[in-house]
Structure 1
């Protein structure tokens, strides 16, 4: 009898608060699109520079030096990775559409640079492709989706950025 009880206890998987916190965020993948989709936060270059100036000013060059903005953006990004512990954090250019809206079919070849056969020069100049820089934590592609961060990391990143994440469609068909 005791060996049966022992086997049952061995088979029982106990969830502790620590093991629950280590699970990736619950997230539903969006419907497949022609380009990869990314889950993350819309940010501007200026936001990233300000973040660096607030959180790691000692690591920045002189504000008047050449390349200051690029250097500050890189430092801000590195600091975000360090602060949040999200190692697969990335920045990607994405189409700037309302959530759930579809990308106009003409935008995809133009964003990929494959528009010679699709549009005339006048048509290309006639419309603007609105994009946004997105601080991404995962994509809808299998390997990246499996490596999404834990809820605690997402909560902290949301607090730092000041608004919540959402799904965005990337501008390029392959990354």
Structure 2
């Protein structure tokens, strides 16, 4: 996949009126990984979220079900249906907060994210919430989104993880 080029935005682009991301980290284009913009989450925080916001009759013990329930409700509450659940390389803040996972057979630790966009393609990079949607998501997560490096190399990137039914 060719490297992402960020062209000047004109007033007719789909993303006009939508929020701007924080600047990408220095050297992002030279990285062997794509970057995600979003929030670090844990199985515990997602389980707590589901208990608080989804009123499940019986909370599933399956992590994938809990993640799916949380993702569905976060999309519904914010109105931003392109939110995606992905894995990334932990940054210093995620490590300090204990938000990391080490899976058997995996080379390094990982952090789970609810991601708004990705540097994988211009389409995924330009995917932005409105100010109101970002405000709601920031309220739900309790902090601003930030950039994380994908835990997979660019050659191994699975773009389906960032695609949603609303594209």
Q: Common fold, TM-score beyond 0.5?
A: yes
Asked if structure 2 preserves the Cα contact closer than 8 Å seen for 1:53 and 1:72, the reply is no
TM, length-normalised to structure 2: 0.66
**Equivalents in 1 of 2:91, 2:128: separation in Å?**
23
Aligned CA RMSD, in angstroms, stands at 2.4
Structure 2 unmatched ranges of 5 or more: 1-15, 94-102, 159-167
- Pick one of 24, 48, 54 that aligns with 1:50: 48
Q: 1:75 to 1:129 in 2, by over 3 A?
A: same
What is the CA deviation profile of residues 33-75 of structure 1, one whole-angstrom value per residue up to 9, with x for unaligned ones? 2111000000111111111111111xx2524x653x4323211
- Pick one of 104, 114, 125 that aligns with 1:135: 114
Q: 1:85 to 1:94 in 2, by over 3 A?
A: same
Larger relative contact order (Cα-Cα within 8 Å, sequence gap ≥ 6): 1
Residue 71 of structure 2 aligns to a residue whose secondary structure is: helix
What is the CA deviation profile of residues 111-164 of structure 1, one whole-angstrom value per residue up to 9, with x for unaligned ones? 9xxxxxxxxxxxxx8x96121001100112311111211222111101101122
**Equivalents in 2 of 1:36, 1:131: separation in Å?**
14
Q: 1:76 to 1:66 in 2, by over 3 A?
A: closer
Asked if structure 1 preserves the Cα contact closer than 8 Å seen for 2:20 and 2:128, the reply is no
* Segments ≥4 residues shifted beyond 4 Å: none
Asked if structure 1 preserves the Cα contact closer than 8 Å seen for 2:35 and 2:150, the reply is yes
Q: Paired residue for 1:94?
A: 88
Matched, 1:164 2:164: no
More helix by percentage:
1
- Pick one of 62, 73, 87 that aligns with 2:58: 62
Q: 1:66 to 1:55 in 2, by over 3 A?
A: closer
- Number of residue-to-residue matches in the alignment: 125
Structure 1 unmatched ranges of 5 or more: 1-21, 100-110, 112-124
